[in-house]
Structure 1
Amino acid sequence: MTTEHFRSFDGTKLAIHRMGEGRPFVLLHGLFSSADMNWIRFGHAARIAEQGFEVCMLDFRVHGQSEAPRAPDAYPSGVLVKDVAALIEHLGLTDYDLGGFSLGARTAIHGVASGTLKPQRLILGGMGIDGLSQWEKRAAFFTRVIDEFDAIPKGDPAYFSMQFLKSQKVDRIAARLLLGSMEDLDPAQLASITCPTLVVCGDEDRDNGSAQELAEGLPDATYVEVPGTHMSSVTKPALSEAMADWLGRTVA
């Protein structure tokens, strides 16, 4: 694996982790996580790379080894889609596949639905219809985690999220600004995503609403369940096994 940095559209330095050789597959991680936590640590990137892919994993701004600017103007609407577009341009990709988990899936959907990102195939992990159309409610949960932080007691539904954010050493000022840059997506826009799509979700994962309903709203989607909750499914080999199997059976 190699790690490098590049400057995004506004000069923010972002990290890219690359593994394997072959067809480019861009992978995007979840909120307050990183490429290492979601894709490298539990072997997902390696499993996919073994199938003949170069797995290109971005650390979003405010995450992992990327910069976390604290200036409000570093967080325009749709900033993460702009960062992914900058990554695609930096790597010179014209024929590639795209995947993401949770926030990464949400970012990929916004990018493809708007026509900014044009992958041949798309994989959406840990994402349901509510995570697109009810972002304000989801953002309010994480804003509370940031604002109350150490005051959140054990047993509170937000406690585990607070502990995870703390373990990842996320800059809370930058994270709060990032949350404000994200907008809802009208489910009707899903009809514009015509590329073959895999929707894969834990069988106990309801954090972002119904993943099956998301798949039903896409013109060419396959729905697969794997074991686990929102937090545990991404630690199990079944996730990348499902992804690699679908990539191997689907024409790019």
Structure 2
Amino acid sequence: METDGGRDRLEYTEYGTGDAWVVLLPGLLIPRRMHDHLARTLAANGAHVVTLDFLGHGRSDKPDDPFAYSVTSFARQVVALLDELGAGQAVIGGTSLGANVALEVAAIAPERVRGLIVEMPVLDNALEVAIVSFAPLLLGARVFPFAFSGLRFVTRRVPRGVVPWWIGIGLDTLDHKPGPLAAYVHGLFFGRVAPPASERRRIQAPTLVVGHPRDPLHPASDAEMVASELPNTTFVKATSILEWRRSPERLDLAATKFVLDCWRPARRTRRTAN
């Protein structure tokens, strides 16, 4: 898929068929295949699922321009994807950065959103930790680019087929040239990171929010805050950030039920909690 007048190439993968569209969005710098398992599970239950590499992620283009990267531009890429697929609406789901982008899609194009799956959003309560975590990444990519190029040289030579799947995802996440990496972090740092609370409260789409305890970069308080702001929310508390990666059955079931409910004619109207 191409956007921005054909200058930016974005890659996506489809699972399943039909009109019950779901778009799954990855976390910061992580390739789209992080959602392979969930996509296959949802497709097996009748959904038509698409996973997307934002600009700067996975196999999509990675320009050096900081202005190419922002949560709003990523949200526009999702809308462009729906146009490309001929999908009027979709359930938009994302993890971390992808969760913020899902909220942004609901803010800028609410008519395209059938529902939202928001796992560990990064909002007000994560600000200080995010700065401490990613400012060195920006500085290092600018000042010591040879270190990042050397790391990329090493990780690209590890065959993905001989390592566990999540280790392969981690290796792919490290596969970034220093110039585009610095531009990416710069763009996100100085751009809009999510819809403000005043806009989030106007989101009417049914939403599944998944929060994790003991995760300073994705504090449970941010997930709980979103769940309290949106008027049509189901909140699920994961046992840890690893539950959906190591023992996904419970959360897969919650996500599958949510997606199927979104695409049934009767829409949910009451808030529930698990």
TM-score, normalization by structure 1: 0.79
Q: Partner of 1:70 in structure 2?
A: 64
Aligned partners of 1:142, 1:31: CA distance in 2, in Å?
A: 11
After superposition, residues 1-252 of structure 1 pair within 5 angstroms as 6-10=1-5, 11-22=7-18, 23-36=20-33, 38-40=34-36, 43-75=37-69, 78-115=72-109, 118-127=112-121, 129-130=123-124, 138-139=130-131, 141-148=133-140, 164=170, 167-179=173-185, 180-181=187-188, 182-184=191-193, 185-209=195-219, 210=221, 211-229=223-241, 232-236=242-246, 237=248, 238-250=250-262, 251=264
Aligned partners of 1:15, 1:243: CA distance in 2, in Å?
A: 24
Q: Confirm or deny: 8 A CA contact 1:198 1:246 kept in the other structure.
A: yes
Gaps of 5+ in 1: 1-5, 152-162
Aligned partners of 2:140, 2:200: CA distance in 1, in Å?
A: 35
3-state SS of paired residue (2:24): strand
Q: Confirm or deny: 8 A CA contact 1:26 1:57 kept in the other structure.
A: yes
Q: Could you list the per-position Cα deviations for residues 46-99 of structure 1 after superposition, in whole angstroms to 9, with x for gaps in the alignment?
A: 111111011111011111111101134534672211211211111111032111
Moved beyond 6 Å, runs of 4+: none
- Residues 189, 148 of structure 1: alpha-carbon distance in 2 compared, 3 angstrom cutoff: same
Q: Percent identity?
A: 26
3-state SS of paired residue (1:192): coil
Q: Which has a greater percent of helix?
A: 2
Q: Partner of 1:157 in structure 2?
A: none
- Residues 122, 77 of structure 1: alpha-carbon distance in 2 compared, 3 angstrom cutoff: closer
Aligned partners of 2:261, 2:212: CA distance in 1, in Å?
A: 21
User: Aligned letter for 2:192?
Assistant: E
Deviates more, 1:235-244 or 1:212-221: 235-244
Report which of the two structures shows the higher radius of gyration computed on alpha carbons. 2
TM-score, normalization by structure 2: 0.74
How many aligned residue pairs are there?
229
Aligned partners of 1:63, 1:139: CA distance in 2, in Å?
A: 20
Alignment RMSD: 2.7
- Residues 135, 176 of structure 1: alpha-carbon distance in 2 compared, 3 angstrom cutoff: farther
Q: Confirm or deny: 8 A CA contact 1:81 1:108 kept in the other structure.
A: yes
3-state SS of paired residue (2:114): coil
Q: Could you list the per-position Cα deviations for residues 137-172 of structure 1 after superposition, in whole angstroms to 9, with x for gaps in the alignment?
A: 625521312433769xxxxxxxxxxx9477530233
Deviates more, 1:27-36 or 1:204-213: 204-213
Deviates more, 1:71-80 or 1:7-16: 71-80
How far does residue 225 in structure 1 lie from its aligned partner after superposition?
Answer: 1.5
3-state SS of paired residue (2:83): helix
